[in-house]
Amino acid sequence: MTEPMISFLSHKDSLIIMVDSRFGQWLKLVVSLLLLLKTQGLYVGITYVKSAVAKGAVCLDGSPPAYHWDKGFGTGINSWLIHFEGGGWCNNVTNCLSRKKTHLGSSKLMGQQIAFSGIMNNKRPFNPDFYNWNRVKIRYCDGSSFTGDVQAVNPATNLHFRGARIWLAVIEDLLPKGLKNAENALLSGCSAGGLASILHCDSFRSLLPMGTTVKCLSDAGYFINVRDVSGAPHVQTYFNEIVSLHGSAKNLPLSCTSTLKPSFCFFPQYVAPQVRTPLFILNAAYDSWQIRNILAPGNADPLGVWKSCKLDINNCSPLQLKAMQDFRLRFLIALNKATNSSSGGLYIDSCYAHCQTETQEKWFMADSPMLGKMKIAKAVGDWFYDRSPFHKIDCPYPCNPSCQNSGLAPPDNSEV
């Protein structure tokens, strides 16, 4: 019987293997960083609209509004993408005072430069239809999806509720910089910014020349009016508080407020059917923010039964999955009336995601999510340029293998 052979490496050989291993890890890290830098596009400096202060168009703390603009070039020199930043809302004075101390309430706390990626990318391989457009990101610092307008300022809090004025001030600043000559214009936004792109869609159309092709894109902005897992109308109460605090009623679409209570007109399902400008709705049917904050908010789940499920859909129990499937059905019902227009677009995937236009891996990469074999960037581009319509709803979870992160929810620091 032969004994098993054991081979020993010399200290020198072990050292070489260890160095090779470390070099390989370092090389992988360098390649990953280079790929990230390549796809990230570029960093774009901030522009403060200081002239807006005299008009009362200011952030929660009274600081001037701001945006980031990367100029268009080549065939895109007269095309404009105006993108609303997202970031939740504030629904009471305490909430807004806390927000005032962050970049979501003060332009003094905003980064001087931000990365443009996804739909904002300036490289054709990563953003095939909008890479050479004028791309503008409007910073969000009012907490009302750019709808608030209260003249009075309480000296005890020094809170300014002027979101609607910010919206107009930024557009007025951009018009003489070339927006008035726009041949194509797309108003987009993510989350609270996606809601803003619906609420301001028709007003955007009215602010531009008649000959401009104007369309709107809402990414993860289709928040629905549904009861939470405890049976309470949590989000309805929350939106009512926002509209009331910020004086938003007069800036919400009249086509909705003329027939419904103003706070209902903060919900896209009651506004979108009356929007006359072509509107593309991009949303996950299992929107991770809505699952965490509308379906199962903390106050409806005091024992934290939903905590693990909200972090990763793979951790959900059969009962929780049923609740999420029911949420999807309610979402599709709320969406139904808003999608009758032949000029509109629809991309409803079954991913557990929130905001899919701003991150490169979701917008347009080799392994980006697909619906009907179509990536988001291609569907939106084809729709905008009238190459082909796109109007698809994904099958129920977990049928779409292209959804990323295996059900992990993206980071979310804003709770309601």
Residue 375 tokens, joined: 């990536």
Of the residues 142, 173, 287, 301, only one is catalytic, namely 287
Q: Which amino acid would we find at residue 126?
A: F
Q: Known catalytic residue: 191? A: yes
Cα dihedral: 387, 392, 394, 395 (round 10):
-130
Is 261 within 8 Å of 243 (Cβ atoms)? no
Active site residue 354: yes
Measured between alpha carbons, how far is 298 from 45 in angstroms, rounded to an integer? 37
β-strand pairing of 374-375 with 370-371: antiparallel
DSSP letters spanning 269-308: HHHGGG--S-EEEEEETT-HHHIIIIIS-GGG-TT-TTHH
Task: Please provide residue 200's backbone torsions phi and psi, each rounded to the nearest 5 degrees.
Answer: -105, 10
Cis peptide bond prior to 128, omega within 30° of 0: no
Name which of 271, 69, 245, 249 is nearest 142 in CA terms. 245
- The identity of residue 268, as a single letter, is P
Alpha-carbon torsion (297, 298, 303, 304), positive or negative: positive
Q: Is 63 an annotated catalytic residue?
A: no
Which residues, in sequence order, are CB contacts of 300 under 8 Å at separation 6+? 228, 229, 230, 232, 234
Catalytic-role residue among 191, 197, 263, 288: 191
How far apart (Å, rounded) are the C-alpha atoms in residues 364 and 345? 18
User: Which residues are 68's β-sheet partners?
Assistant: 46, 137
Long-range contacts of range 146-149, CB-CB < 8 Å, 24 or more positions apart? 146/84, 146/196, 146/199, 146/200, 147/196, 147/199, 147/243, 147/246, 147/248, 147/251, 147/252, 147/266, 148/245, 148/246, 148/247, 148/248, 148/251, 149/246, 149/247, 149/248, 149/250, 149/251
Place of tokens 């999955």: 321
Query: Which residues are catalytically annotated?
Result: 191, 287, 354
